[in-house]
Amino acid sequence: MKDCGTILNDKAMSRTLERLAFEVYERHGDDEKLAIVGIQRRGADLAERVKKLLDDRLGRKVPLGKLDINLYRDDWTTNLELAPTINCSEIGFDIEGASIVLVDDVLYSGRTIRAALEAVLDYGRPKRVELLVLVDRGHRELPIQADYVGKKVETMGNEHVNVLVTERDDEDRVCLVRGE
């Protein structure tokens, strides 16, 4: 990996997820139709952690779903050399009338979230959909805003934010990678 300047270490990442879960709890503590949906891959890993924190605080099991948005993306057909990596969507609860908290690792252009909203609607019509992201790095191309933000990071167009999670990368860390 290129030089990766740490934005959040493992402890800061854990504290940030706890704060985000508490913000969701404050807004939806009495909502029996609250559900968490993570965008595959790292958003789904983070969603599972947020769900566990909410389960503990609420004293009940919050439904959890995983959403693959690759076939909903508006850019996968423009690069014919790269076929999209297809993961699975797992939503084993009724979305109709639910308060969905959609979870992703990094909010950038807004295109991933647009695709995720389209995918969610294929499962039913929720009462509301809110967005929780670990990092908002700006540079929006679509009018999409997160309801819950772990950390805002000012980036240049040639920089990338990488979120590493223990489940996939054997460590928890968020870092900024500078491009050419």
Structure tokens given for 135: 């990092």
Percent of the chain with pLDDT over 90: 84
Alpha helices by DSSP H, listed for the chain, are 10-28, 42-58, 111-121, 166-169
Instruction: Round to whole Å and give the CA distance between 102 and 58.
Output: 18
Closest CA relative to residue 66, chosen from 41, 86, 96: 41
Cα distances (Å, whole numbers) of residue 36 to 109, 138, 146, 147:
22, 24, 15, 14
pLDDT band at 83 (very low <50, low <70, confident <90, very high): low
Domains and CATH numbers, the chain: 28-156 (3.40.50.2020)
Q: Which two three-digit tokens encode residue 105? A: 């690792």
| Each residue's pLDDT tens digit, 16-69 | 999 999 999 999 999 999 999 999 999 999 999 999 999 999 999 999 999 999
Please report which confidence band the pLDDT of residue 82 belongs to, taking 50, 70 and 90 as the band edges: low
CA-closest candidate to residue 42, choices 129, 121, 107: 107
pLDDT at 107 over 70: yes
Number of C-beta neighbours around residue 50 at 10 A: 23
